[in-house]
Structure 1
Amino acid sequence: MFQRSRQARRPRRRGGLRSIQQDRRPQEAPSRRGPGESPDAPDPLDAPGGRRLRVLMPTGLASLARESGIGAAIRHQRQAVQSLGHDVVTTPLAPFDVVHLNTPFPDTALLAHWARLCRRPVLMWAHSTEEDFRDSFPGANAIAPWFRRWIAHLYRLGDHVLTPSAYAKSLISRPAYGIRAPISVLSNGVDTTFFRPDLSARARLRETLGLPQEAPVVVSVGMQLVRKGIVDWVEVARRMPEVTFVWFGRTDERLLTAAVRQALRDAPANCRFPGYVGAQQLREAYCGADAFCFLTKEETEGIVLWEALACGAPTLVRAIPIYQQMVPDGVLTHQVAGDDPDFPRRAAEHLRALLDGQLPDLTAAGRSAAEEVDLGAVAQQLQQIYAAAGVRTHLRRRGRRRPGGIGRR
């Protein structure tokens, strides 16, 4: 009786088999964009597996790195992911298809294990190395070998490891890191539509600084660390009193080393330290300055260098291995070698020659190089890495909820 009742209520298809066959004619595909999205917005089905991915980029302790290069790299990743039409998820308790992990903080290990429990791929970014940890904070050199063991442990938790340069890949590929997962080079990139030359910025920068329009200005950007070259930078400024030197960026006073404290305390009057500023102010500085002087001693890439080159700033850097390869001397940048007591004098001589127009103009070549690592190009490479790492959309299905939004398979 019950079965007959269910069959009686089952709706019948009119027209029989012929009607079914006629209904199989091609139909116009429905719109795949959400309400309010412009026709030019990225199509969410132009993605691995043809569906919009949910990319977990957890906030957590990553917020502590907001003013650092890692913080900028995370913001660039978010922009790249969204440009591909994917969704960015910030809490690990929400459904996600892949996780991006960037920081060396303790919650990175927990998040990697959580993603494994949820059976989701872990993309681990290797921004840090033992080499660029040295000369950073008080006691860093003493614990650098232990720091390398810690980050090596984190990197080994990744299903796919990404690092921003070939130089950085050569460091983390050493046996001491013990990484067996695939390692891909993916630049942190630069938004060349935002960071672009603007000749009118020169006047605005000098007005902001309270300087005459003809005053020469040299800028640098970064945390106030020995590794970033701030001690040498102050000494270069001391040898060029006619030039105003401006350092954008800061470090918590509790984390300053004695050498940096002394350099900041004894800095000459032509040095200025505005602290951490936003992207618009940085763009004004790059575009309005006469030169970008970046004397860092160790980097895995250096986003600020790409920003300066994208803005057409004449650039002087220390001739460290990564920059000898990535932005060669006399081709994309001007470089000064060494880390000896006489280095500030040689750097000042090169910088004065650059300001006086005695060195070749490399700004057009620098801009072209920055365009090659534009975030649009980086996003397309990221899409390819998703495919290589087996990232796919996990459909929501009815049934008992499981970690990471997993239903039955």
Structure 2
Amino acid sequence: MLMKTRAVRRPRRPWDPAVRWADHALHTVVPGRHPRRDVRPDEPLRVLMPRGLASLAKESGIGAAIRHQESAVRSLGHVVVTNPLRPFDVVHLNTPFPDTPVLARWARLWRRPVLVWAHSTEDDFRDSFPGSNRLAPLFRRWISHIYRRGDLVVTPSTYSRDLIAAPKYGLTAPIRVLSNGVDTRFFRPDPEARGRLRESLGLGPTSTVVVSVGMQLVRKGILDWVEVARCMPHTTFVWYGRTDERLLTSEVEHALRTAPSNAQFPGYVRPEQLREAYCGADAFCFLTKEETEGIVLWEALACGTPTLVRGIPIYRDAMPDGVLTHQVSGDDPGFPDRVATKLAALLDGELVDLREAGRQAAESVDLLQVARQIQEIYALVGAQPHRRLRRKR
């Protein structure tokens, strides 16, 4: 005679809750590998733009570029995801920090397209921080390693594309040129800003004000800028932006400490204050020695600010002297005097008025134009909506 057996209940183990949590994370939090079933053609993408160490760059040009990308992506109707543990369909990587290659590998694990923005080069790393010139070759190897993690590399100008396409970078992925763009609806001319800016600076209504924007680095031209201010004692020079004191070179520290009384350094300010500065200034004087694009220049042009820049290759080629900006070339001891002479002529109205041309050029790289090109890039790399893996019950 056969006896019926009774199922024995397995005793509860102490690690069971952890196993259930891991299983839940694997199947519901971590994104799946498979495309969503029955997705509509207009289904929005989930675009991963991880915070992580990128928050360290929020006051830099890279931080501004990330904010521009977020605005452009949202204008397309897509969803911006900041947590890499949440489902995503494509990833934007922008910073040269240690977590970037890790995030690239994570995206590849889940077979998601990786877009790497090449904001930095060996050339623009030089003259930045103490020891940067010695470390520049190592920095180039590091960013090359990061750029090679991308399915497609995006760089903001033809000039920077030519730099990173050199054999020493060793890139094999396609390189696409896409401006960082400018929000021309936010940065726009405002004649009434002139009085407000002078009031905020404690100046008289007829005072002449020249502004510049950027981190306080030798590469950004701050040493020459201070000397130009010294040559023009009756003009107020205002530099917006800052660098952590621990990262200042001795040259920059000395320049800031001995700057003339007509040079002011308000530090990092909100975008609304920056717009006020552009619109209220008599000129924007940007003496940077190396750029891959220069978002602040587009912002000044969008605001209709008369602009004088150093004639470096990217600007000589993309916007020759007298077309969108006025330029002074060189990096010799006589450079500040030549800048002061041309800047005085610009302030006195002796040079051609390029404000309208500058505004039109800025509109050509408006964030809506950038958004359309980002959508083309998504199609190029095959970005598509994905579904989560669900637990089978």
The two structures have a TM-score, normalised by structure 2, of: 0.89
Equivalent residue, structure 2, for 1:287: 279
Aligned mate of 1:61, from 45, 49, 53: 53
Residue identity matched to 1:223: M
- Displacement after TM superposition at 1:148 (Å): 0.1
2:383 paired with 1:385: no
Contact 1:48–1:386 (CA under 8 A) maintained in structure 2: no
In the alignment, structure 1 residue 214 sits paired with structure 2 residue 206? yes
Looking at structure 2, the residues matched to 48 and 216 of structure 1 have their Cα atoms a distance apart, in angstroms, of 57
Cα distance in structure 1, aligned partners of 2:240 and 2:229: 15
Among 283, 293, 303, the alignment partner of 1:311 is 303
CA deviation after TM superposition for structure 1 residue 118, in Å:
1.0
Q: Secondary structure of the residue that 1:99 maps to in structure 2?
A: strand
Deviations 1:189-217 (CA, angstroms, capped at 9, x unpaired):
00000000000000000011111111000
SS of equivalent to 2:128: coil
Secondary structure of 1:176's counterpart equals helix
Deviation at 1:49, TM superposition (A): 4.5
Q: Deviations over 1:360-388 (max 9, x none)?
A: 00000000000000000000000001000
Q: Which runs of 5+ in 1 are unaligned?
A: 1-46, 401-409
Q: Please name the residue that 2:262 is paired with.
A: 270
Indicate whether 1:117 and 2:116 are aligned. Answer: no
Deviation at 1:327, TM superposition (A): 2.1
> 2:372 and 2:296 mapped to 1: Cα distance?
22
Q: CA deviation at 1:396?
A: 3.2
Residue 196 of structure 1 corresponds to 188
Which of 247, 256, 260 is the aligned partner of 2:248? Answer: 256
**Counterpart check, 1:232 vs 2:201:** no
Pick from 59, 69, 74 the counterpart of residue 66 of structure 2. Answer: 74
Contact 1:57 1:100 in 2 (8 A): yes
Residue 141 (structure 1) aligned with residue 133 (structure 2): yes
| Cα deviations by residue, 1:68-104 (Å, 9 ceiling, x for unpaired) | 0000000000000000000000010000000000000
Q: Which amino acid aligns with 1:184?
A: R
Distance 1:74 1:140 in 2: 24
Matches within 5 A, 1:94-113: 94-113=86-105
* Inter-partner Cα distance in structure 1 for 2:320 and 2:205: 32
1:397 deviates by 4.6
1:186 is matched with 178
The amino acid across from 2:250 in the alignment is A
**1:374 matched to which residue of 2?**
366
SS in 1 for 2:168: coil
The alignment status of 1:176 with 2:171, answered yes or no, reads: no
How many residues are treated as equivalent by the alignment?
354
Deviation at 1:328, TM superposition (A): 1.8
| Structure 2 counterpart of 1:324, one-letter code | R
CA distance in 2, matches of 1:190, 1:59: 21
- In the alignment, the residues of structure 2 paired with residue 48 and residue 135 of structure 1 have an alpha-carbon distance, to the nearest angstrom, of 50
Aligned partners of 1:220, 1:306: CA distance in 2, in Å?
13
2:124 corresponds to which of 99, 124, 132: 132
Name the CA distance, whole Å, in 2 between partners of 1:159 and 1:137.
Answer: 31
Instruction: Please name the residue that 1:9 is paired with.
Output: none
Matched position secondary structure for 1:206: helix
Is the 1:49–1:392 Cα contact (8 Å) retained in structure 2?
no
Check whether the contact 1:48–1:392 (CA below 8 A) recurs between aligned residues: no
The AA in structure 2 aligned to 1:50 is: D
Q: Distance in 1 between matches of 2:178 and 2:310?
A: 23
> Equivalent residue for 2:332?
340
Q: What is the CA RMSD across the aligned residues, in angstroms?
A: 1.1
Following superposition, the deviation at residue 50 of structure 1 comes to: 2.6
Name the CA shift for 1:114/1:250 in 2 (closer, same or farther; >3 Å). Answer: same
Q: Kindly provide the amino acid, as one letter, of the partner of residue 74 in structure 1.
A: I
> Alignment partner of 1:79: what SS?
helix
380, 386, 389: which one aligns with 1:394: 386
| Cα deviations by residue, 1:285-314 (Å, 9 ceiling, x for unpaired) | 000000000000000000000000000000
SS of the aligned residue for 1:50 comes to coil
CA contact (8 A) 1:48 1:387 kept: no
The runs of at least 4 consecutive aligned structure 1 residues that moved more than 2 Å come to 47-50, 395-400
Shift of 1:48: 9.8
Name the counterpart of 1:351: 343
Instruction: Write the letter of the residue equivalent to 1:366.
Output: G
Whole-angstrom distance in 1 between the partners of 2:66 and 2:88: 17
2:290 corresponds to which letter in structure 1? E
Post-superposition Cα deviations, 1:13-49, rounded to whole Å, max 9, x if no partner, equal xxxxxxxxxxxxxxxxxxxxxxxxxxxxxxxxxx994
The secondary structure found in structure 1 opposite 2:53 is helix
Give the superposition deviation at 1:325: 1.7
The runs of 5 or more residues in structure 2 that have no matched partner are: 1-38
Task: Quote how far apart the aligned CAs of 1:398 are.
Answer: 2.8
162-171 or 325-334, larger mean C-alpha shift = 325-334
List per-residue Cα deviations over 1:257-276 (Å, max 9, x = no partner): 01100100000000000000
Amino acid in structure 1 at the alignment position of 2:217:
L
